[in-house]
A and B are shown apart, each in its own frame.
Chain A
């Protein structure tokens, strides 16, 4: 009896297999997200830029941490494969051959590591761009969008890594956290749609609606349990609230530390958190309540609601004027259509994430 009790006590302190490297990759993506919100705020509230500002270091370190952790897992897996040792797919999913069979890479870590490697390549592209065009602080320049897309790929890999372990508590929490991080980060990436010529509708609002609905449905279906969408919506709201406080605070503290003044007319409104739809939590509740309906219906409602609230959020935060016109209505209608498609895509992506660990599928049916 005493032996059994000791064994139980020891078992409580065993770190689940796969959790440590997954946490490093997730930590890297969080650093990237913190660096991004800080950097955007720095440019709007303070201004002067160098390669080695602290927000930039967060961005570089985030991708470096995710990349090194991914590389470490791939090398360990490769070494185990060469020695014919058993490879546990709970660590990032099934291993696939890379460069023939030179490397054996768990698919989740392959994607997260590829994103980190792409970040390096696009960092060079960005350096070349700045040499030619100057150190513009435009978030939606082509190389910046390339960098943001590279980090997004790392984040997609992180979602996959945690989705593999969805039958464990850390896997469930991880999918919720990584989906929230990906969603928040993507709100900046969609600003690249400003490059689309202005037409009948607002492309950024439609892109925001599409991406938000897709990631919400993807996470909900990857977890395949009630409350999944709501948990992601709440996590996004928490990130929005924390960054709403953090971003202007960090920019101000860093400016004080480096002896730089704030810009004249700096409004201090948090740049990145402002891009996140505040109504997302309502959309998440709607997804939960309407789960018996075909996915495209709550998707269309969610897409329309997000696009409809974009100018209302500007009224609330900036006191901007709001004149509903034909373009506004066209954006709402387009976003409803995009939302419907995003829900179907998101649901399918969720199913694909569930297939990452097919051996455990029967436990969730």
Chain B
């Protein structure tokens, strides 16, 4: 028993030791930009992947020409169909000098609109990035992905059915 314990503990420490945290966070690589004029504010919208595909996550950056200091605002993402989603403009976690969304995916294909409501030293203003084309999702159909991912659930149900039948006589 002592050997088993030592073996198990040793394996655990080995696993933890070999897999020491390698925290190398990816930089934000902007590969495409669009310009948005929100009143007096000239905004550059950056994308880390282009073209944008539904469900494929990427980094978005929103950079006013003269920086974000003294400014705040709201981003409203409007899909072709469905409810708009608004969020305060927050600094990108890996690029703190601009606003942004980190590893964010747009859930559905179609034509999207990003609306920016910004208030700053030059007063409040709004601007829109229109006709943002989001292509169809890559990869297999979602039905197939869900079928693969729920195999453990159906396996568990199968096990329950077997156990149910084997214990039925005894429980009655």
Please give me the residue from chain B that is nearest to A60 by CB atom. B19
Most buried by A among B152, B159, B170: B152
Minimum Cβ distance to chain A for residue B56 (Å): 5
Instruction: Check if A146 sits within 8 Å of B4, measured CB to CB.
Output: no
Decide yes or no: A146 and B148 within 8 Å by CB, A52-B21, A261-B96 being known contacts.
yes
Instruction: Check if A135 sits within 8 Å of B57, measured CB to CB.
Output: yes
Minimum Cβ distance to chain A for residue B50 (Å): 13
Decide yes or no: A132 and B138 within 8 Å by CB, A153-B155, A156-B156, A355-B170 being known contacts.
yes
Bound together, the chains give a CA A76 to CA B12 distance in angstroms of: 19
Chain A residues with CB under 8 A of B167: 351-352, 355
Minimum Cβ distance to chain B for residue A182 (Å): 12
| Chain B binder among A42-50, A164-172, A317-325 | A42-50
Mask of B125-157 contacts with A, CB within 8 angstroms, 1/0: 000000000000011001001101111110110
Chain A residues with CB under 8 A of B146: 142, 145, 195
Instruction: Check if B138 sits within 8 Å of A72, measured CB to CB.
Output: no
Give the A interface residue count (CB, 8 A): 58
Chain B residues with CB under 8 A of A260: 25, 93
Please give me the residue from chain B that is nearest to A128 by CB atom. B139
Contact of B152 among A115, A132, A136, A261 (CB under 8 A): A115
Chain A residues with CB under 8 A of B150: 145-146, 149
Q: Which of B152-169 contact A (CB under 8 A)?
A: 152-153, 155-156, 159-160, 163-164, 166-167
Minimum Cβ distance to chain A for residue B8 (Å): 6
Minimum Cβ distance to chain A for residue B81 (Å): 13
A127 on the B face (CB < 8 A): no
Bound together, the chains give a CA A149 to CA B12 distance in angstroms of: 23
Instruction: Check if B1 sits within 8 Å of A348, measured CB to CB.
Output: no
Instruction: Check if A118 sits within 8 Å of B4, measured CB to CB.
Output: no
Bound together, the chains give a CA A51 to CA B24 distance in angstroms of: 10
Instruction: Check if B15 sits within 8 Å of A355, measured CB to CB.
Output: no
Decide yes or no: A125 and B102 within 8 Å by CB, A61-B12, A72-B8 being known contacts.
no
Instruction: Check if B90 sits within 8 Å of A263, measured CB to CB.
Output: yes
Interface of A is mostly: helix
Bound together, the chains give a CA A20 to CA B2 distance in angstroms of: 10
Decide yes or no: A50 and B8 within 8 Å by CB, A125-B149, A265-B90 being known contacts.
no
Contact of B142 among A137, A142, A152 (CB under 8 A): A142
Most buried by A among B23, B55, B105, B171: B23
Q: Which of A4-61 contact B (CB under 8 A)?
A: 15, 20-21, 24, 46-54, 57, 60-61
Instruction: Check if B151 sits within 8 Å of A134, measured CB to CB.
Output: no
Instruction: Check if A46 sits within 8 Å of B93, measured CB to CB.
Output: yes
Q: Which of B1-23 contact A (CB under 8 A)?
A: 1, 4-5, 7-8, 11-12, 15-16, 19-23
Mask of A103-130 contacts with B, CB within 8 angstroms, 1/0: 0000000010011001000100100010
Instruction: Check if A64 sits within 8 Å of B15, measured CB to CB.
Output: yes
B58 on the A face (CB < 8 A): yes
Bound together, the chains give a CA A321 to CA B145 distance in angstroms of: 35
29 CB-based A-B contacts, threshold 8 Å? A47-B102, A48-B94, A50-B25, A52-B21, A57-B16, A57-B21, A61-B16, A64-B11, A64-B12, A64-B15, A68-B8, A69-B8, A72-B4, A114-B155, A129-B145, A133-B57, A134-B56, A134-B58, A134-B103, A134-B105, A142-B142, A146-B148, A146-B150, A153-B152, A153-B156, A260-B25, A265-B88, A355-B166, A355-B171
The 4 closest A-B pairs by CB, nearest first: A134-B57, A264-B90, A146-B149, A136-B57
User: Using a CB–CB distance below 8 Å, which chain B residues touch chain A?
Assistant: 1, 4-5, 7-8, 11-12, 15-16, 19-26, 49, 55-58, 88, 90-91, 93-94, 96, 102-105, 138-139, 142, 145-146, 148-153, 155-156, 159-160, 163-164, 166-167, 170-171
Apart from A46-B93, A53-B23, A149-B150: 5 A-B pairs, beta carbons within 8 A: A48-B26, A48-B102, A57-B16, A69-B8, A146-B149
